[in-house]
Every structure is written in C-alpha cells, then in structure tokens.
Amino acid sequence: MAHNARVWNHWLGGRDHYEVDRQVGEQVGTVLPVGHGRACPECQSGLVHHAVRVDV
C-alpha cells in the first residue's frame, strides 16, 4: 500500500520509497499538471524552512 510521505519522497527525488509509491506518484502526475506534481513538495518544503527561520 502506498503512503503519502513516501510518494512525496519520490517526488522530491529521495530514495526512501517503494515501487507502489512511485506508481501512485506517476498516476497523480497524470491527473495534475506535470510541473505541479513535482514542484509542490519542493515549494512547500522551502516554505516550511523559511517559516522556521523567521520564527526562530
């Protein structure tokens, strides 16, 4: 069974995911525009890092 955290890991280019996570990630990419499927995790990650820096 795919897990959303591992799917995001796949989108971000990580290596901690399984084949089923890659398959789900590719299926989501067919529904969403290709750029969004890979850009959203990166953008959100950058936003979280920025928010942590501002709050500290």
Q: What is the mean pLDDT of each run of 10 residues along the chain (56 residues)?
A: 89 91 87 58 57 54
Which pLDDT does position 36 carry in this prediction? Answer: 46
Cα–Cα dist 54/7, whole Å:
28
Which pLDDT does position 1 carry in this prediction? Answer: 93
Q: What is the pTM for the complete model shown?
A: 0.60
Which pLDDT does position 12 carry in this prediction? Answer: 83
Going through the chain in order, the beta strands assigned E by DSSP cover: none
Domains of the chain: total: 1
